[in-house]
């Protein structure tokens, strides 16, 4: 029996190759989209959840002021939590990885992702160790642990424990090698435990800013108690004002479960990055919509196929085949189709995974072990839904003998047919509208005024403090760079356009007003000039004996003053007095998902710690000779500044563009989805129309014999499809508006949702549908009556 079924299956394929090919490709695309979406979903939700006792671990975020920006955690918080039995253990970590030049006996090169933390780090991020004693890693300040991939790179296959690895020419002894085979919000290649670990709380520690903090909560302590005590002690020990009674801007404690840090933490976002749950929902939801579309398309195509084989099924019933045998035969054919489609889908997954990763900025890897259950569910769903419905339909039409039975069947099937068409069109409308809105938002971001010009300004990365010291301690070196042909200006600044600014714990005073909700950065006059900030107000005749600062409009608004009134006024910070020289218009530095923050711009020489935050040298280059100027700068750099680290340069605007690369990739993904979805929907629609026309040929012939015109026949055939198209459009309007409005809300600065994308999508898709309908219906009404009667 199976052998005969297989022969019939092969014969049908050979007689309708295009139908079979499209059916299989459609299924493969749908299955591949689900596999990729679930792989992405599982990857995002795997961060930190493998850690033992992770449910008792939290990351502390302190949010300050109206901007709700996360700030560095004072060094006194950890010891206070342990001392007061609120936590069993804690660990501080730096909020950025370091990059150093590394050397072993045999290998040299840049070592990325170096983390400065505390000796308790592996109690929280419990990676498995390949070599070394996990309990005795950091015997002194020069002991380090490294990842297995870095160990292989610098030491080959041997055990490197006890060997030395130089980082920025400082020798460190390797005490352990760990595996980075599980996803975590912090995944360093080198762990340095150079942040001092304190066991007792003291007032001095509360004045020292460290970085991020994770801690293991005492099981008997409630979260609300931890938050309440932290906020009280923060005001008492950190923000107490010795001059007058004023707490300044409100500071709110937030405990982020370590298992959810990928989605909720602001501190961790500076290390392995963060992801919003609505983004995951949008991408996985769209992938499942594509899968639904392909399943509906498969059912429609199979219905058309069943109708074309009606005589075959009727003949088989006459010679003794049971209804169950017909159903099983078509299910058998569906299983073969699904297995072939699955094979193609797995190939598509492997081929498209690099592209998918580039769109999502991920490192996803397909795993049979992780995806086997999902694949079985997908295959079972297609067989049960996509195979069973056409099989039952085939069993029904094979036993229709009377004309009345055929009319009754036609009425029932017509409703299902229009329902399938409606589902396909709803999905197609959604992708067209959503894709256009995503495109609009990206276009808006790419063309929006950022508050600075930055024309032809390039940032040269400074890898180490030694390189930074060369530049800010040796003015002559900067002067020599300025003399290179093609370089117009040179400046130093701590401003980074990478979207990672954090409010400080520092306090400034304007008259009797205490200010804590601000960002502070260091700049020089050359940098201000080359970046082309919009200066709202300035004053050049400033007292030369006092250092000057710039502020932005957001800072002025926070004070409740006018721009013109504040220029020349005095601000006190850290016991020093500064005169406001100018007010800059607000400029965007952190991307479109973050609001512009109040800002104080000091000269980087005037605040002791600011020079350590200079990440790059900014140069403005003559655009006419950009390439040769960069070559001359690189040659000078290697000889006079640094020869070990790579010469890495990026445009200021290009650096800012990296803050919305994920959104740009989502736009590109939607463009691909739109093409695939519309093509699948139109082909499915064509198949459904073929199905409808074949079913109504007798009706068409009878109407033509009775004198109906081609126009009347055409309108009668096309009307239900046009009505379904309009209904599908009406159904999709509100859900699409609601979903895309939620997506746009994650951007502080975004476009509005206008009527145009909805109208355009309706016109485009309706036009395509109408074109396909006209093509098929025109052929149907032109049928030769005599030939059809002879054939029947």
Q: 574, 610 in Cβ contact below 8 A?
A: no
Q: Which two tokens stand for residue 172?
A: 């460190």
Phi and psi torsions of 546, nearest 5°: -110, 140
Question: What share of the chain in percent tops pLDDT 90?
Answer: 23
pLDDT at position 677: 79
pLDDT at position 678: 78
pLDDT at position 102: 93
pLDDT at position 147: 95
Radius of gyration of the chain (CA): 34
249-274 per-residue burial string, b: 16 or more CB within 10 A, e: under 16: bebebbbbbbbbbbbbbbbbbbbbeb
| 384 DSSP 8-state letter | I
Report the candidate in 486, 530, 491 with the shortest Cα–Cα distance to residue 629: 486
CA distances from 783 to 160, 499, 687, 690 (A): 82, 65, 19, 14
Higher pLDDT, 377 or 237: 377
| pLDDT tens string 216-245 | 998 878 888 888 888 778 777 766 544 445
Q: Which residues pair with 166 in a beta bridge?
A: 103, 171
| pLDDT tens string 685-730 | 776 666 666 666 566 666 666 666 666 766 777 777 788 888 989 9
Q: 48, 184 in Cβ contact below 8 A?
A: yes
Highest-scoring range by mean pLDDT, 108-117, 346-355, 374-383: 108-117
**Integer Cα distance of 729 and 758 in angstroms:** 9
CA dihedral 780, 786, 791, 792 (to 10 degrees): 80
Question: What share of the chain in percent tops pLDDT 70?
Answer: 84
Q: 564, 510 in Cβ contact below 8 A?
A: no
Q: 191, 115 in Cβ contact below 8 A?
A: yes
124-140 per-residue burial string, b: 16 or more CB within 10 A, e: under 16: bbbbebebbeeeebbee
- Give the distance, in angstroms, between the CA of residue 698 and the centroid of all CA atoms in the same chain: 55
**Integer Cα distance of 555 and 484 in angstroms:** 38
Band the pLDDT of 121: cuts 50, 70, 90: very high
Could you count the other beta carbons within 10 Å of the beta carbon of residue 684?
27
User: Does residue 29 come out as left (phi exceeding 0), alpha (psi in the -120 to 50 range) or beta?
Assistant: alpha
Band the pLDDT of 492: cuts 50, 70, 90: very high
Report the candidate in 250, 265, 255, 210 with the shortest Cα–Cα distance to residue 517: 250
Phi and psi torsions of 734, nearest 5°: -70, -50
Q: 663, 442 in Cβ contact below 8 A?
A: yes
Could you count the other beta carbons within 10 Å of the beta carbon of residue 235?
15
In the block, residue with structure tokens 């009404």: 781
Higher pLDDT, 485 or 744: 485
Q: With 80 as the cut, is the pLDDT of residue 11 above it? A: no
Report the candidate in 25, 8, 776, 689 with the shortest Cα–Cα distance to residue 394: 8
Q: Reduced to 3 states, what is the DSSP secondary structure of residue 208? A: coil
**Integer Cα distance of 582 and 632 in angstroms:** 35
Q: Which residues pair with 114 in a beta bridge?
A: 98, 190
**Integer Cα distance of 304 and 16 in angstroms:** 12
H helices within 16-110, ranges in order? 17-44, 77-83
Arithmetic mean of pLDDT, 642-664? 82
**Integer Cα distance of 312 and 40 in angstroms:** 45
| pLDDT tens string 552-594 | 998 898 888 888 888 888 888 877 889 999 999 988 877 777 7
Phi and psi torsions of 581, nearest 5°: -85, -30
Report the candidate in 190, 102, 193, 100 with the shortest Cα–Cα distance to residue 146: 190
Q: 533, 551 in Cβ contact below 8 A?
A: no
**Integer Cα distance of 22 and 681 in angstroms:** 12
Q: Reduced to 3 states, what is the DSSP secondary structure of residue 537? A: strand
pLDDT at position 225: 82
Higher pLDDT, 35 or 265: 35
| pLDDT tens string 41-58 | 888 889 999 999 999 999
| 50 DSSP 8-state letter | T
**Integer Cα distance of 146 and 416 in angstroms:** 61
Give the β-pairing of 190-192 and 108-116.
Answer: parallel
| pLDDT tens string 164-183 | 999 988 999 999 999 999 99
**Integer Cα distance of 306 and 696 in angstroms:** 15
For the entire predicted model, the pTM comes to 0.79
| pLDDT tens string 724-749 | 888 989 999 999 999 888 888 877 77
Determine which of 260-274, 337-351, 681-695 has the lowest per-residue pLDDT on average: 681-695
Residues 6+ away with beta carbon under 8 Å from 488: 456, 530, 620, 621, 622
């Amino acid at each position: 029996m199976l052998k005969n079924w297989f022969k019939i299956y092969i014969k049908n394929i050979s007689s309708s190759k295009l139908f079979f090919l499209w059916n299989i490709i459609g299924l493969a695309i749908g299955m591949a989209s689900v596999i990729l979406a679930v792989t992405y979903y599982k990857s995002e939700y795997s961060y930190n959840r493998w850690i033992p006792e992770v449910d008792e671990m939290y990351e502390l975020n302190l949010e300050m002021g109206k901007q709700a920006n996360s700030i560095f955690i004072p060094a006194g918080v950890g010891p206070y939590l342990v001392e007061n039995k609120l936590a069993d253990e804690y660990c501080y970590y730096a909020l950025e990885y370091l990059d150093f030049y590394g050397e072993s006996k045999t290998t040299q090169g840049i070592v990325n992702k170096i983390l400065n933390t505390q000796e308790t780090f592996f109690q929280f991020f419990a990676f498995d160790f390949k070599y070394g004693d996990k309990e005795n890693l950091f015997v002194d300040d020069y002991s380090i642990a490294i990842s297995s991939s870095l160990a292989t790179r610098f030491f080959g296959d041997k055990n490197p424990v006890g060997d030395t690895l130089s980082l920025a020419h400082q020798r460190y002894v390797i005490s352990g090698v760990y595996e980075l085979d599980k996803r975590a919000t912090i995944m360093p290649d080198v762990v340095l435990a150079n942040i001092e670990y304190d066991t007792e709380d003291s007032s001095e520690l509360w004045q020292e800013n460290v970085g991020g903090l994770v801690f293991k909560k005492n099981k008997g302590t409630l979260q609300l108690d931890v938050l309440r005590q932290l906020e009280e002690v923060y005001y008492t020990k950190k923000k107490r004002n010795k001059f007058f009674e004023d707490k300044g801007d409100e500071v709110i404690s937030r405990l982020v479960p370590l298992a959810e840090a990928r989605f909720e933490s602001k501190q961790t976002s500076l290390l392995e990055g963060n992801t919003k749950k609505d983004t995951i929902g949008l991408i996985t939801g769209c992938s499942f919509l594509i899968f639904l579309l392909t399943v509906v398309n498969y059912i429609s195509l199979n219905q058309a196929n069943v109708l074309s084989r009606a005589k075959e099924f009727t003949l088989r019933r006459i010679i003794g085949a049971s209804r169950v045998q017909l159903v099983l035969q078509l299910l058998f054919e569906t299983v073969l189709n699904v297995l072939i489609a699955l094979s193609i889908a797995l190939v598509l997954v492997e081929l498209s995974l690099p592209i998918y990763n580039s769109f999502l900025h991920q490192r996803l890897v397909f795993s049979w072990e992780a995806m086997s259950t999902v694949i079985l569910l997908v295959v079972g769903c297609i067989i049960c839904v996509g195979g069973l419905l056409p099989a039952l339909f085939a069993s029904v039409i094979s036993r229709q003998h009377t004309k009345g039975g055929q009319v009754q069947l036609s009425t029932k099937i017509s409703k299902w047919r229009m329902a399938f068409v409606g589902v396909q069109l709803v999905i197609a409308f959604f992708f067209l509208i959503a894709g256009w809105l995503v495109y609009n938002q990206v276009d808006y971001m790419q063309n929006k005024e950022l508050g600075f010009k930055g024309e032809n300004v390039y940032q040269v990365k400074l890898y180490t403090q030694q390189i930074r010291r060369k530049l800010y301690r040796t003015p002559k070196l900067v002067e020599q760079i300025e003399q290179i042909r093609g370089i117009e200006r040179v400046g130093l600044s701590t401003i980074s356009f990478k979207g990672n600014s954090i409010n400080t714990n520092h306090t400034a005073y304007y008259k009797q007003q205490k200010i804590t909700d601000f960002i502070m950065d260091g700049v020089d006059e050359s940098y201000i000039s080359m970046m082309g900030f919009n200066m709202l107000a300035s004053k050049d005749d400033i007292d030369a004996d006092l250092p000057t600062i710039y502020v932005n409009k957001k800072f002025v608004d926070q004070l409740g003053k006018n721009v013109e009134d504040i220029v020349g006024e005095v601000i006190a910070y850290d016991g020093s007095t500064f005169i406001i020289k100018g007010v800059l218009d607000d400029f965007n530095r952190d991307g479109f998902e973050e609001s512009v923050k109040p800002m104080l711009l000091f000269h980087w020489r005037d605040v002791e710690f600011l020079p350590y935050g200079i990440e790059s040298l900014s140069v403005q280059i003559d655009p006419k000779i950009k390439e040769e100027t960069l070559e001359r700068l690189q040659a000078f750099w290697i000889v006079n500044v640094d020869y070990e680290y790579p010469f890495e340069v990026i445009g200021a605007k290009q650096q800012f563009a990296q803050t919305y690369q994920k959104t740009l990739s989502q736009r590109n993904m939607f463009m691909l989805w739109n093409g695939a979805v519309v093509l699948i929907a139109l082909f499915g629609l064509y198949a459904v129309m073929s199905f409808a026309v074949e079913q109504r040929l007798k009706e068409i012939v009878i109407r033509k014999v009775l004198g109906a015109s081609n126009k009347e026949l055409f309108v009668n055939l096309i009307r239900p499809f046009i009505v379904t198209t309009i209904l599908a459009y009406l159904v999709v309007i509100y859900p699409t508006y609601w979903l895309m409005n939620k997506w746009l809300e994650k951007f502080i600065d975004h476009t509005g949702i206008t009527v145009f994308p909805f109208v355009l999508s309706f016109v485009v898709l309706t036009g395509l549908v109408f074109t396909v309908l006209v093509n098929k219906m025109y052929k149907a009404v032109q049928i030769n009556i005599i030939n059809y009667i002879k054939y029947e």
